[in-house]
Chains A and B, each alone.
Chain A
Amino acid sequence: MEIVVCVKHVPDTTETEIAIRADERAIEKRGLVFDINEADNYAIEEALLLKEEFGGSITVLTVGLAEADETLRMCLAKGVDKAVRLTDEVFEGSDSYATARILSEAIRDMDYDLVLTGVQADDDGCAQVGVTLAEMLGIPHAALVVSTEVEDGRMKVHRELEGGLHEVLEIELPALFTIQTGINEPRYASIFGIRKAMRKEIETLDLGALGLAEEAVGEAGSKTSLIKLFIPVVTAQATMLEGSPEEVSSELVTIFKNEGVV
């Protein structure tokens, strides 16, 4: 089975203070730790599991600058066969649609049975590139996939719906799935794998190599544009308790008693 996985190198902002850049159109990225997008990490693992069972090869793609090689190398270290970075200064400012356009031109002529992406990126949270890409490639898709099973030229997948409900679908290959977190247990790369990955070449493809026009990418090729970012006020409603752990605990116990829960 030939599998293509699209990944994104994103900043981890879960417990970090975020500052907005002076132009208000991006956050200040200096000092942030970057890693593979969480859902994409599960997509890589799903590809590795399928390859272990059915053979074939895995190609990982990303759209990004040289620092994204760190994420690509980690994928190679885990057992991905080939890494390609789609990179050009005119790609800057691409929205989900333009990003999918760039990826689609790279994938279109490849030999593949399956394309995997994460459900959504931890930074912009659009959940849009995967399903857009499927339409551009003209292949069927399923979003929010939480289990996969190969069946004779087709796949049976579970999609995660709301309230713990799943939907079971049968899809013809080639197809694209957006992979939800929790579908598997992503492995860690071995030291041996990391060493081997250091020596592997990462192919890069730019605008010309992909045969794209400049108007099809970046802000020109986008269908949406960020006007301005702002930090929402989070503590407007909550009563914030301050003091040592013992002091705040004692206040909480009083609150619990007043509310009649203890």
Chain B
Amino acid sequence: MGEIFVLAEHRQGELRDVTFEMLGKGQELAAAMDEPLTAVLLGHSVDGFATELAKQASQVLVVEDERLEHFNSAAHQQVLAHLITGRKPSLVLIGHSACGMDLAPSLATQLDLPLVTDCVGLEFDDGQLFAVREMYGGKVSARVAFSQADVYMATVRQAAFPFEEGELLSGEIIAVDSPLTEEIKSKRFIEYVEAAVGEVDISQADVVVAVGRGIKEEDNMSLVERLAEALGGVLAGSRPVVDAGWLPPDRQVGQSGRTVKPKLYLAVGISGASQHVVGMRASSTIVAINKDPDAPIFKVAHYGIVDDLLKVVPALTEQLGG
């Protein structure tokens, strides 16, 4: 056994939430195993982050290098491989984020380590690590074992573990020399591109009517448009509707789109994949209409209706005087 590594994720001058969620979970696992929790911070001019992380970890390893200013999986992989090989942690936690999905599988393969991705649960049982993850869009859960190894790796679903600030620690900040020797030419970061903002900002609306794959055809979109109008709300959607081009990208609710927390969120024909739920779960009242009684959206809904949206939506619109 050994320390638990948590890779601190940051972008555009901010530590991302998943970092603290992993540190929270990491503290629990580290306490159970009586091992230290180590935050691993790679970046350029990140002293402020190191101080912040030291409040949540037993120690913070900092690798400072201007080549680590922006995330680049190739550079991060080299540095992490160096740290893992040298320190042999028992477990490495990385976010199941755009960064982690680009990094963890190749890092695990290089080091020949077992990796379980998108974990929503992690526990040590008699010294062996088990993960819980979801399959089939959240309709099935799976308990997964890692093959026996000195170091395990897991990517952790964003927003799966709540972060509650507990007792503040004062972890030691340890600077580690960067093992990078030259510029990485095969993969180069160029720039960030911000999403275009359309005429409607769905994150500011009090009522959001969101439509998903269950709408089936573009011709049916007018049904939900009328409902949104009758409720004085805005129309938004989940990924499949935006992918199909039936709504512009700035109307997408979810991890890769907008996060909304209206007074009322009406999910129409949305199955409730985790990437969607993370963008709307903070809404005050959530109503879901879906003909599939097993749809994961009912896990976060306050009110649910199992029926065909093509019947319920027009009836509701009429009763609202639309």
Contact surface of A with B, Cβ cutoff 8 Å? 13-18, 20, 27, 96-97, 100, 119, 122-132, 134-136, 140-144, 156, 158-172, 175, 178, 181-182, 185, 222-232, 234-241, 245-246, 248-250, 252-253, 255-256, 259-262
**A131 touching B105, Cβ below 8 Å:** yes
Q: Give 6 closest A-B pairs by Cβ, nearest first.
A: A164-B195, A182-B243, A223-B114, A131-B105, A135-B106, A245-B315
B118 engages A126 (CB within 8 Å): yes
| Inter-subunit contact B11/A253 (CB<8 Å) | no
Is the Cβ of A227 less than 8 Å from the Cβ of B143?
Answer: yes
- Cross-interface CB contact of B259 among A15, A163, A255, cutoff 8 Å: A163
Contacts of A175 in B (CB 8 A): 186
Distance in angstroms between the alpha carbons of A196 and B39 in the assembled complex: 57
Residues of A within 8 A of B206 (CB): 261
- Is A240 within 8 A of B287, CB to CB? no
Q: Is the CB of B193 within 8 A of A245?
A: no
Q: Can you offer 9 A-B residue contacts whose CB atoms are under 8 A? A: A14-B292, A17-B294, A167-B192, A223-B114, A224-B114, A232-B138, A234-B293, A240-B298, A241-B304
Chain A proximity of B102: nearest CB distance (Å): 4
Contacts of B214 in A (CB 8 A): 15
Q: Which of B51-70 contact A (CB under 8 A)?
A: 70
B134 touches A125 (CB 8 A): yes
Given A14-B137, A127-B101: 12 more A-B contacts, CB < 8 Å = A18-B294, A127-B117, A130-B105, A136-B109, A143-B73, A143-B102, A159-B102, A164-B249, A228-B143, A230-B141, A232-B299, A245-B314
CA gap between A240 and B256 in the complex, in Å: 30
- A17, B116: Cα distance in complex, Å: 26
Pick the residue among B133, B141, B301, B312 that contacts A245 (CB under 8 A).
Answer: B312
A15, B145: Cβ atoms closer than 8 Å: no
Contact across chains for A235 and B285 when beta carbons are under 8 A apart: no
What's the least CB distance linking B92 to chain A, in Å?
14
- Find residues 113-157 in chain B having any chain A CB closer than 8 Å to their own CB: 113-118, 130, 133-147, 149
Report if A235-B287 is in contact (Cβ < 8 Å); known contacts: A122-B137, A125-B137, A246-B315: no
CB distance from A119 to the nearest CB of B (A): 8
Q: Tell me which residues across on chain A come within 8 A of B136, comparing CB atoms.
A: 13, 18, 27, 122-123, 125
What are the residues of chain B within 8 A of A172 when measuring CB–CB? 185-187
Give the CA-CA distance A238 to B267 in the complex, in Å: 13
Partner of B142, one of A128, A130, A228, A246: A228
